[in-house]
Amino acid sequence: MRILKSVAYVVALPLLLVLLWWASTRGEPNFFVPTPAALVDVFGPTWFEGRITGDVLPSVGRLLAGLAIAIILGIVVGLLVGLNRTLRALTEPVFEFFRALPPPVLVPVLILLVGLNDGMKVAVIVVGCIWPVLLNTIEGVRSIDPVQNETTRSYGISGLNRIRYQVLPSAAPTIMAGIRQSLSIGLILMVISEMFGSSSGLGFTILQFQRSFAIPEMWSGILVLGLIGLALSLIFQWCERRVLRWYHGLKEVENAA
């Protein structure tokens, strides 16, 4: 009974919204909004006949490559800068500027510097996504409990061991928060880089549908993007729970006390 009730809570509102959508498009056809049936009809043929391997997978691949490079680079540079007080003060204003720079303006810049190719699209994602990771890593390293630092020092733990067993774990919650921010930026940049002078990819395809007034197809593209966003966020939540299991456990104990 209880399971039934929670299932009802999960599906009730979405069902209601779909019903509302169906009811409001049932009468005279609206040019901008297709009926649910039309969208379902169009979804399969539009995406599963070639576009998924031709456009969707390459887009997602570029996104993942860009994110991976940005995360690794961000953590490595963040550790280097965060552990050195002088370096931190030296770089702070410049990094703050780059963080405040809206990432989409990098697209025209990188088109100039890299050219119109896959490398540019990955570079846009890397350059846009690195700042939240980098700055959060610096902040995470900076705000490590000083007692912990002194303890590792007096136990003679230094170098890579210190980073592996003390610095990275205590900065991990902050780093993960940065990664979460960069995920949504990465998705935005994936779409934008393809809308700007490109001839393939998800962003280009959706814009093409709009330009040719293929309205149900355009909506199905919006749906695909939404599903990719949802999948990314679910995968991230799963990873975060695994990486930060100790942290969430600690929080629960603290909150219960």
**What's the min distance (Å) between Cβ of 42 and other proteins?**
15
Q: Is 244 in the site for other proteins (CB under 8 A)?
A: yes
Contacts with other proteins by CB under 8 A: the residue count is: 76
Q: Which of residues 168-197 bind other proteins (CB under 8 A)?
A: 173-174, 176-178, 180-181, 184-185, 187-188, 191-192, 195-196
Closer to other proteins at the Cβ: 13 or 23?
13
SS3 (DSSP) at 55: helix
Of the listed pieces 41-49, 119-127, 153-161, 199-207, which binds other proteins according to CB under 8 A? Answer: 199-207
Q: Does 162 bind other proteins (CB under 8 A)?
A: no
The answer to whether residues 228 and 237 touch, using CB atoms and an 8 Å cutoff, is no
Closer residue to other proteins (CB): 70 or 225: 225
102 vs 99: CA distance, rounded Å: 8
Q: Which of 56, 71, 130, 218 binds other proteins (CB under 8 A)?
A: 218
- Select from 115, 113, 125, 98 the least CA-distant residue to 203: 125
* Least distance (Å) between residue 54 CB and other proteins: 19
Between CA 46 and CA 223 the distance in angstroms is 12
Q: Pick one of 92, 155, 161, 164: the residue that binds other proteins (CB under 8 A).
A: 92
**Are 68 and 133 in contact, with CB atoms under 8 Å apart?**
no
Considering beta carbons, is residue 55 or 240 the nearer one to other proteins? 240
Structure tokens belonging to residue 23? 């009811």
Judged by CB under 8 A, does residue 32 bind other proteins?
Answer: yes
Instruction: Please pick, from the candidates 4, 13, 160, 253, the single residue that binds other proteins as defined by CB under 8 A.
Output: 13
Please list the alpha-helical segments (H only) found in the chain: 2-26, 36-48, 51, 57-82, 85-100, 106-114, 118-142, 146-154, 159-162, 168-195, 202-211, 215-243, 245-256
The residue with tokens 């931190």 is 88
Up-side HSE of residue 3: CA atoms within 13 Å toward CB?
0
Number of other residues whose CB lies within 10 A of the CB of residue 189:
28
Q: Applying CB under 8 A, which part among 20-28, 49-57, 95-103, 159-167 lies near other proteins? A: 95-103
Least distance in angstroms from the C-beta of 186 to other proteins: 10
Kindly tell me which residue out of 1, 3, 23, 94 binds other proteins, with binding defined by CB under 8 A: 94
